[in-house]
Amino acid sequence: MTIKKIFLMVITFYLLFAQEYAGLPILPSDLEVRNIIFFIGDGMGISQIQAARIKSKGALGRLNMELMPVVGLVNTCAADKLITDSGAGGTALASGIKTNIGAIGVDPSGMPYCTILEACQKIGKSTGLVVTSSITHATPATFAAHVPTRMAESEIAEQLIYRKVNVLLGGGRAFFLPKKIKGSKRSDNRDLIKTAKELGYTVVEDKSALMNAKADYLLGLFQMEHMKNDPVEPTLAEMTKKAIEILTKDPDGFFLMVEGSQIDWECHANQVGGMIEQVLMFDEAVKAGLEFALKDSHTIVIVTADHETGGLGITGGMLDGSDLNCGWLSKDHTAVMVPIFAFGPKAIMFTGVKENIEIPRILAKIAGLDSLPVKCR
């Protein structure tokens, strides 16, 4: 037996028997669901999760999301296309309707449909959106805005703050600053930072201001456009923790959506290393959500994706994660099913194969909200 074989046997033994497998428990179904934490890994399919796990923990390790006890599969197609985008994909996950690609919170005829966030607001819950893209990007927009196209980011910025979402954290300052200011991406001269303050928001622009903020309404815009993972910014996990800290003050409970926005972009670029980094950042945020939910026991946490991106496959590598080999089929989204992980009371409802539109419908049902889908007003 060669030294290499002995070494591999030792590693395999370690991976098999010395690692933590204990997943999270299945909570009793009779517990009331007061809070919803909805994690979306944009573009995150099973291979993305698997590659991040193998690389960071070895083949037999577990990411935080993989410790969640209930797992299902989600079909992602849009109303008009087999292969969806974040507009139609987000609208399905937020409002429970299939729509055309590019649409935000409206059906193919342009009719706005109530989102799960809005349904939570309606019964007095606090709400939050936390992302690493611009906060006006498609996924967060689908939870609190209704516009025919995802390109309407000036309009989306306006709708997000008038909707009075309690916590809005991410990039996208350029869509809140008047057109005359350098770097603005607004189509008009409205100053939405000023408007946000008038509406009661505390506005923060860096990590330390975020950490010190004590507010019922918090708008954090940490970059002009998308977040860059630089030290003045909070991480996705830090933003998630802060959002939970603010939202838990509401005795009626809360809804929080957290997006790992840039997993998708690394997959579009077919960058395995960058993709893994983004999945792991996202998984740290999931950990923050799960830690809260474990203590609280009235919180349902789900982790899913709007679609897979890149058609990623794992074609080779070692058990310890070295020499990982991946192949990409595409530079775009694919139609492959994505996983959903669930933890919390009634999590079992998410098992099996689901259409994306079933996810918010189930959430509304188990949290005692008005049933979805429903037209706005």
Catalytic residue among 86, 95, 133, 154: 86
Q: Which residues of 30-67 are buried (b: 16+ CB within 10 A; e: fewer)?
A: eeebbbbbbbbbbbbbbbbbbbbbbbebbbbbebbbbb
- The correct pick among 264, 277, 283, 306 for binding Zn ion (CB under 5 A) is 264
Nearest residue to 11 (alpha-carbon basis) of 335, 320, 361? 320
Residues from 168 through 197 that contact Zn ion (CB under 5 A): none
Min separation Cβ 240 and Zn ion, Å: 22
**Binders of Zn ion: how many residues, by CB under 5 A?**
1
Decide whether 264 or 320 has the Cβ nearer to Zn ion: 264
Min separation Cβ 309 and Zn ion, Å: 5
In the residue annotation, 134 being an active-site residue is answered as no
Segment contacting Zn ion (CB under 5 A): 189-197, 199-207, 261-269, 289-297? Answer: 261-269
Q: Return the half-sphere exposure (C-beta side, CA atoms, 13 A cut-off) of residue 16.
A: 6
Q: Distance between alpha carbon 371 and the CA centroid of its chain, in Å? A: 22
Q: Nearest to Zn ion by Cβ — which residue?
A: 264
Nearest residue to 257 (alpha-carbon basis) of 166, 346, 326, 123? 166
Decide whether 50 or 139 has the Cβ nearer to Zn ion: 139
What one-character DSSP code corresponds to residue 327?
Answer: E
Written as six digits, the tokens of 194 are: 């000023």
Segment contacting Zn ion (CB under 5 A): 238-246, 258-266, 278-286, 314-322? Answer: 258-266
Decide whether 155 or 264 has the Cβ nearer to Zn ion: 264
Question: Residue 107: beta bridge partners?
Answer: none
Min separation Cβ 43 and Zn ion, Å: 6
Min separation Cβ 332 and Zn ion, Å: 7
What one-character DSSP code corresponds to residue 84?
Answer: -
CA distance 219 to 170: 9
Decide whether 107 or 264 has the Cβ nearer to Zn ion: 264
**Alpha helix positions (H), the chain:** 3-17, 46-57, 86-95, 116-122, 138-144, 153-162, 192-198, 207-212, 236-247, 263-268, 272-296, 358-366
308 binds Zn ion (CB under 5 A): no
Min separation Cβ 79 and Zn ion, Å: 18
Segment contacting Zn ion (CB under 5 A): 22-30, 100-108, 245-253, 260-268? Answer: 260-268
Q: Which residues bind Zn ion (CB under 5 A)?
A: 264
Which positions are catalytic? 86
